[in-house]
Amino acid sequence: MSKGILLVNLGSPDSTEVEDVRTYLREFLMDGKVIDSPWLIRKMIVELFILPKRPINSAEAYRKIWTKDGSPLIIYSKILQQKVQEQLEIPIGLAMRYKNPSIEFGMQELYDKGVRDMLVVPLYPQYTMSTTETVADKVLEIQKKKFKDVHVNFLKAFYKHPDYVKVLGDSIKENLPENYDKLLFSYHGIPERHDKKALKAAKASKLPIETYRNQCLETTKLVAEYLQLPEDKYYTSFQSRLGKDPWIQPYTDETLEHFPEKGVKNLAVCTPAFVADCLETLEEISMEGKEEFLKAGGEYFTYIPCLNDRQDWINTLVKWFQGWENN
């Protein structure tokens, strides 16, 4: 069977117009793996409590990071696709879990090129139900409806893969200030109940599934070991919580506010739950997070970019894909 690869990232609104942001948020938040309430309750939460006001604030936030070519996440994902394609002969497709280009569009493009053996690559280092799992669900749903003769595989979570740890560690090392007080690893947060569900599923299936929190802590530990960081020089926190339910802790915003009173004046922050810079990294951390930290008494704030289109990251993906292609 002819092989091909589909890269999948989160997605972005088509523009910074409020209605486009509202459409994107509706699709994203109505996903039962993101807000895991029964459909009717989820519909009420999204339509009555989130969508009336949140798209206005989100649109304003997107405008702060938007470029003349559009969403940074989409731009970096396209560059990544193009540069990986330059080193491989098999077709490399690109899709977003929400909005455009859609997963169905990406699968159709590969199918039209003769691909019948597809490796789907969720561009998330850590596995969660609201990222990797929902990508797999959507891909398999479309495969059963439209591409029954296509064989689908998924790249496993790579949060502790030595190649990924090295690339991430090198990217941090290149951007780490010489006299930093602390390096903060800020991961995207999830509700605590998501991790509890993961534990329950792991026990039921007898599979070695790690909770998302433990995956993140493992990434931090391995990168810190690679960089030979003393234990008092780094810390892990979780950002982007939504609603009143408890999310995994410690929270990034509270951490940024409290660091200065603990003597942390020169702070560096990386965001290893993302491989491409986006709203959550560029606006929430490098803009809002910086403002929170400096307002609380911090003096220097360094945001360390995601892997984006780094050549060593591209080379790593090519190496992995060649291993799959030659299997």
Asked which of 139, 157, 175 is the last residue of a domain, the reply is 157
Strand 117-122's sheet: what is its strand order? 92-98, 3-11, 117-122, 151-154
As given in the structure block, the two tokens for residue 187 are: 């991961």
* Residues 49 and 133 placed together within one structural domain of the fold: yes
Cα separation, 243 vs 254, whole angstroms: 16
Rounded average pLDDT over 109-135? 97
Percent of the chain with pLDDT over 70: 97
Domain-located, residue 311: no
* Residues 247 and 278 placed together within one structural domain of the fold: yes
In the chain, the number of structural domains is: 2
Domain-located, residue 322: no
* Residues 132 and 94 placed together within one structural domain of the fold: yes
Domain-located, residue 319: no
- Answer whether 279's CB lies under 8 Å from 239's CB: no
Cα separation, 50 vs 309, whole angstroms: 33
Amino acid at 32: G
- Answer whether 236's CB lies under 8 Å from 269's CB: no
* Residues 140 and 53 placed together within one structural domain of the fold: yes
Q: Does the structure show a pLDDT above 70 at 244? A: yes
Residues 6 or more apart in contact with residue 32 via CB below 8 angstroms: 39, 42
* Residues 122 and 220 placed together within one structural domain of the fold: no
Asked which of 130, 157, 184 is the last residue of a domain, the reply is 157
Where do we find the tokens 């690109």? 94
Closest Cα to residue 250, out of 311, 294, 195, 189?
189
- Could you list the residues known to form a binding site for Fe(2+), using ranges: 188, 280
Residue 35 maps to which CATH number?
A: 3.40.50.1400
* Residues 289 and 266 placed together within one structural domain of the fold: yes
Categorize the per-residue pLDDT at 327 as very low, low, confident or very high, splitting at 50, 70 and 90: confident
Q: Which domain holds residue 192?
A: 162-303
* Residues 143 and 174 placed together within one structural domain of the fold: no
Compute φ and ψ for 224, nearest 5 degrees. Answer: -65, -40
Domain-located, residue 323: no
Cα separation, 220 vs 271, whole angstroms: 10
pLDDT value, residue 55: 98
Give the model confidence (pLDDT) of 16-60 as tens digits: 999 999 999 999 999 999 999 999 999 999 999 999 999 999 999
Q: Does the structure show a pLDDT above 70 at 5? A: yes
H or E element, residue 303 = strand 300-303
* Residues 188 and 267 placed together within one structural domain of the fold: yes
Compute φ and ψ for 84, nearest 5 degrees. Answer: -70, -40
* Residues 30 and 168 placed together within one structural domain of the fold: no
Cα separation, 161 vs 164, whole angstroms: 5
* Reported pTM: 0.96
Give the model confidence (pLDDT) of 178-203 as tens digits: 999 999 999 999 999 998 887 777 66
Domain-located, residue 38: yes
- Secondary structure of residue 114 in the 3-state scheme: coil
* Residues 125 and 179 placed together within one structural domain of the fold: no
Cα separation, 298 vs 266, whole angstroms: 7
- Could you list the residues known to form a binding site, using ranges: 188, 280
pLDDT value, residue 185: 98
Domain-located, residue 315: no
pLDDT value, residue 202: 65
Cα separation, 10 vs 23, whole angstroms: 15
Cα separation, 96 vs 135, whole angstroms: 9
Categorize the per-residue pLDDT at 210 as very low, low, confident or very high, splitting at 50, 70 and 90: confident
Q: Tell me the pLDDT of the chain averaged across its residues.
A: 96
* Residues 142 and 170 placed together within one structural domain of the fold: no
What is 188-234 written as a DSSP string?
EP-BHHHHHHHHHHHHHHT--PPPHHHHHHHHHHHHHHHHT--GGGE
Domain-located, residue 320: no
Q: How many helices (H) and strands (E) does the chain have?
A: 12, 8
Categorize the per-residue pLDDT at 245 as very low, low, confident or very high, splitting at 50, 70 and 90: confident
pLDDT value, residue 197: 84
* Residues 237 and 151 placed together within one structural domain of the fold: no
Give the model confidence (pLDDT) of 301-324 as tens digits: 999 999 999 999 999 999 999 999
Domain-located, residue 14: yes
Cα separation, 9 vs 27, whole angstroms: 15
Give the model confidence (pLDDT) of 73-103 as tens digits: 999 999 999 999 999 999 999 999 999 999 9
pLDDT value, residue 207: 60
